[in-house]
A and B are shown apart, each in its own frame.
Chain A
């Protein structure tokens, strides 16, 4: 791979004028597997074209955790669509450096799909090392909050997350209790949306809580 490959691919991307050409050019950039292509792929996320963005997102995920700092800087964009995709990449990379941004997105982002991805990220972040128990508490607190979100899909993602996090032995018993009682609440008639009740019931069953 040479610098010229990336430049050629970028020129092709700039010249693309329809979805098929954009996807093809984006795929070429992804195939370079070059972390210095990350800013270009991030730019593609703001084109408001789901097919192109999905391709770029996959490419960014494949670049791995090396690009996390670049992703964190680019979250300041005002483009909702792009932010949603970046949060998705951060969630998929499971890098604990994304925790601040995922917490912030879950609490403050107006787009339900962004809060959904953020909740998924808090469920899946790889936590080990000296600060991991504090990070685990933050993930759980974020998920507790997501259980009360107005949007059903965010509550659904929170249930998925609690199912994963409540198996951790590092949790305090009061956090265990909070998580279990939230799951019970979401499995009950207090929850309006049936699929959330079904998912919470499944989580309780898998965690062997009746």
Chain B
């Protein structure tokens, strides 16, 4: 079977009958970083499904993929729509919107993100009754602040309490962002400790967080961590792209 071309993919997103074709199309356009002028309006259009009552689960899935694609496309003309989604009642919608806003590096998202996190670990970071989820998608919100990269005392004070969160991955997100914002190695220590956590999921998360900070001194810790090579390569990519250090590229060659 021939792979679909961009025009067919756009048609698949435009039609309304086959949501699985729309779902794939939204993913594809983000993955391929499509620059077609119709992409942005079509992706944004799928978000209207989130306002319907009740929300159709298939159209919600398409919208979630569209939110991710908007982040990958990094076109700031979509940021207003994404910022509005931070007020959604749907946890996953807020989570994906935060991730995409982080990808877009748009400082106008900072204030609404800080609002969701205000109250710290007792409110935003508290577990929902009877569920594994926290009240807010704290990891995504905190990481977005680090990715946007604007350093101010308000932002640091919003993140700081989450360094004490009982969940290791929330602590990792907080340390990652503070390391990104301040460049101060004190925040790397907790991440390095988490790299030796007995739980593989925590080690993987801490590894990717260290990579995202681009903190070059993390190279030896990343090389020796008990995590699969594919993830180490992703983490080292982050280090290489910010440090331009040939030693990082040599370490990547060894892991291929």
Contact = CB atoms under 8 A, between A and B. Distances in A.
Interface in A165-199: 192-195, 198-199
For chain A, the bracket of interface size reads 20 to 34
Majority SS of interface residues in chain B?
Answer: helix
Interface residues of B, number: 17
B246 A157 contact: no
Given A51-B226, A153-B233, A192-B33, A198 B256 contact: no
B256 A157 contact: yes
A41 interface: no
A198 B200 contact: no
Given A50-B200, A116-B256, A198-B244, 20 more contacts: A50-B227, A51-B226, A113-B230, A116-B230, A117-B256, A119-B256, A120-B256, A152-B237, A153-B230, A153-B233, A156-B252, A157-B256, A192-B33, A195-B237, A195-B241, A195-B249, A195-B252, A198-B241, A198-B249, A199-B249
Contacts, number: 40
B228 interface: yes
A116 B229 CA distance: 11
Nearest to A161: B256
27 contacts: A50-B200, A50-B227, A50-B228, A51-B200, A51-B226, A54-B228, A112-B230, A116-B256, A117-B256, A120-B256, A152-B237, A156-B233, A156-B252, A156-B256, A157-B256, A160-B253, A160-B256, A192-B33, A195-B237, A195-B240, A195-B249, A195-B252, A198-B244, A198-B249, A199-B249, A202-B246, A202-B249
Interface in B26-76: 33
A156 B254 CA distance: 12
A199 B253 CA distance: 10
A156 B251 CA distance: 13
Contacts of B249: 195, 198-199, 202
Interface of B: 33, 200, 226-230, 233, 237, 240-241, 244, 246, 249, 252-253, 256
Closest 5 pairs (CB-CB, A-B)? A120-B256, A194-B241, A195-B237, A50-B228, A195-B240
A199 B237 CA distance: 11
A153 B237 CA distance: 9
A193 B72 CA distance: 13
A51 B229 CA distance: 11
Contacts of A50: 200, 227-228
A198 B243 CA distance: 11
A156 to B, nearest CB: 7
Contacts of B200: 50-51
Nearest to B228: A50
Contacts of A198: 240-241, 244, 249
Nearest to A49: B200
A160 B237 CA distance: 15
A195 B227 CA distance: 21
Contacts of B240: 195, 198
A106 to B, nearest CB: 13
Contacts of A194: 241
Contacts of A113: 229-230
A199 B233 CA distance: 13
Nearest to A51: B226
Centre residue among A50, A112, A152, A199 by max chain B CB count within 10 A: A50
Nearest to A121: B256
A54 B229 CA distance: 10
Interface string A138-172: 00000000000000110011001000000000000
Nearest to B250: A202
